[in-house]
Copies of this chain bind each other. A is one copy, B any other.
Amino acid sequence: MAQKTSSRRGRPRTHDPEAALVAAAGLFWSRGLTGTSLDDLSVAMGMNRPSIYLAFGDKEALYRKALDHFRQHLGAGLARLERSPGLEAGLLAFFNQAIRIYVDGEQAKGCMVMCTAPAVALTHPEVREDLAGIIRDIDAAFLRRIERAGQESELLPGISPKGLAMTLQAILHSLALRSRSGEQARTLRRFVREAVALCLGRAPLRLNP
């Protein structure tokens, strides 16, 4: 493994790779992969192109590392969800935090993964695989949490855990897109409240066949 302290041989880095990656991710988040030039990245990251190549590879590789960065944050949120004591409260907290991330800053940017990766998924197969992997991750995390809720008999009997998990991810997808389109956080929070209630059967009992 790379040593992080100063026992490295050559000229020391002037810029923190982590911070540079975050800066790059911010640009990709706003403009997408094909909408971001290496010159833009160069100034945002505070390093010139050769240094970027050395540290991260070409533009696609850098973008995929940015995706992975996002994925790790997501994983932390999902882990919190899995540890949450009550299902409904855990879901509300998870979604509301997502909203906070999506509408943060003066201009809401939505989800970096769901709003920028699909555009290049067909021309960049590795990105498509990244996207598919992230969707699988989310499905799996929801599913685990749901199955736990089932064991704690917090769930409707006879419900399809997999179907519920996918429907919950659909809520997340919609938050990602809607926030990017400019919808207000208030609207999104209300949507989350009602959608979660609907999915968990908190809505009143059914009448019809």
Q: Which of A12-20, A41-49, A73-81, A167-175 faces chain B?
A: A167-175
A interface, over-half SS: helix
A109 smallest CB distance to B (angstroms): 6
Interface string of A159-184 (1 = CB under 8 A from B): 11011101101110110111011110
Find the residue from A110, A120, A173 having the highest chain B CB count within 10 A: A173
User: B135 near A122 (CB under 8 angstroms)?
Assistant: no
User: A204 near B156 (CB under 8 angstroms)?
Assistant: yes
Residues of A within 8 A of B (CB): 30-32, 34-35, 107, 109-110, 114-116, 118-123, 128-129, 131-132, 135, 153-160, 162-164, 166-167, 169-171, 173-174, 176-178, 180-183, 190-191, 193-195, 197-208
